[in-house]
Amino acid sequence: MPTHVHDTDYAFDNGSPEAVPQLRALESFLDPITAGRIAPPVLAPGGTCWEVGAGGGSVARSLARVVGPGGRVVATDLDTAHLTPADNLDVRRHDVRTEPPPGDSFDLIHARLVLLHLPERRRVLASLAGALAPGGWLVVEEFDCTAPLRVLTAPSDDAAKLFAQVTDAMLGILDSHGADLAWAQDVHGELVAAGLVEVDTVTHARSWPGGSLGASLYGTNSRQLEPELLDAGLSPGQLEAFRRLLRDPGFAVMSYQFVSTRGRRPVR
């Protein structure tokens, strides 16, 4: 799971060497889903967009291509190291928790895997909804981490148990950093409470075989969280065995459930 900052109590460091493979794995899995959720009529040429917690910038660049030269995209993050501005793409360092929105009339606001990490998530969501133009869309996408990750095939029962042990420990660390692992289930109601209409939610999950880019995400996360995993009682040998398992073609696991919720600000 990602986060987008390195100077708060977030579990993952966007400035670490592991951030790039983490972002690439997530983009490979999630960008096609996001593209479908923000396709016309949600997003149209000439629109004004805000990409919150832009991370590696893949969605911001996609938005910029769709809105074209007549539109504008603002990509914000606390760490903008992986973001590159363009003619219609502005990059700004911005703390969505404490700073006002970088505008007050966006046709689309998109936040992916951001709010679940923020203790102020409900207040931030209300602020995002308030920054929409009449008729504008807010799209919030999160992982639902409440269901146990389902191992589909494994070389042994012990290997399956090791996967569960390490991933349970990683989720415990996220929880200790203030993440709400069930937040994805609440977003639909929060958008309705914010006064948005046409609210709808879709959930996506898929199998990740050993050696795939998706499976590599678990290994990357284990390296990012290694000091805390060791503090939690796991051994270096267990972590290395976990990473070998993720490269094993005889292993397969379901991804986290990815929950995409969107709603529109009424025109009147």
pLDDT tens across 172-181, in order?
Answer: 999 999 999 9
The answer as to whether 112 is a domain residue is: yes
The pLDDT > 70 percentage for the chain reads 93
Q: Is the pLDDT of residue 6 over 50?
A: no
Q: What is the pLDDT of residue 104?
A: 82
Mean pLDDT of 209-233: 95
Residue 44 has a CB neighbour count (10 Å cut-off) of 14
Q: What is the pLDDT of residue 84?
A: 94
Q: Is the pLDDT of residue 100 over 60?
A: yes
The structure tokens listed for 146 are 């409440």
Lowest average pLDDT, out of 8-12, 77-81, 84-88, 205-209, goes to 8-12
The answer as to whether 72 is a domain residue is: yes
Tell me the average pLDDT of the chain.
92
- Residue 25's pLDDT band, with cuts at 50, 70 and 90, is confident
Q: How far apart are CA 166 and CA 197, in angstroms?
A: 40
Q: Is the pLDDT of residue 14 over 90?
A: no
Q: Is the pLDDT of residue 7 over 50?
A: no
The answer as to whether 2 is a domain residue is: no
CATH code of the domain containing 170: 3.40.50.150
Mean pLDDT of 168-173: 96
pLDDT in tens, 223-238: 999 999 999 999 999 9
The answer as to whether 6 is a domain residue is: no
The answer as to whether 13 is a domain residue is: no
The answer as to whether 8 is a domain residue is: no
Q: How far apart are CA 208 and CA 252, in angstroms?
A: 6
Q: What is the pLDDT of residue 22?
A: 80
The structure tokens listed for 38 are 């923000």
Q: Which residues of 161-190 are buried (b: 16+ CB within 10 A; e: fewer)?
A: ebbeebbebbbebbeebbbbbebbbbbbeb
Mean pLDDT of 20-38: 90
The answer as to whether 26 is a domain residue is: yes
Query: What is the number of domains present in the chain?
Result: 1
Q: How far apart are CA 198 and CA 192, in angstroms?
A: 9
- Residue 9's pLDDT band, with cuts at 50, 70 and 90, is low
The answer as to whether 37 is a domain residue is: yes
- Residue 31's pLDDT band, with cuts at 50, 70 and 90, is very high
Q: How far apart are CA 79 and CA 161, in angstroms?
A: 36
Sign of CA dihedral 38, 39, 40, 44: positive
Mean pLDDT of 64-68: 97
Residue 158 has a CB neighbour count (10 Å cut-off) of 10
**Distances in whole angstroms, Cα of residue 98 to Cα of each of 15, 25, 101:** 21, 29, 9
Q: Is the pLDDT of residue 51 over 80?
A: yes
Task: Domain of residue 154: give its range.
Answer: 19-264
Mean pLDDT of 244-266: 97
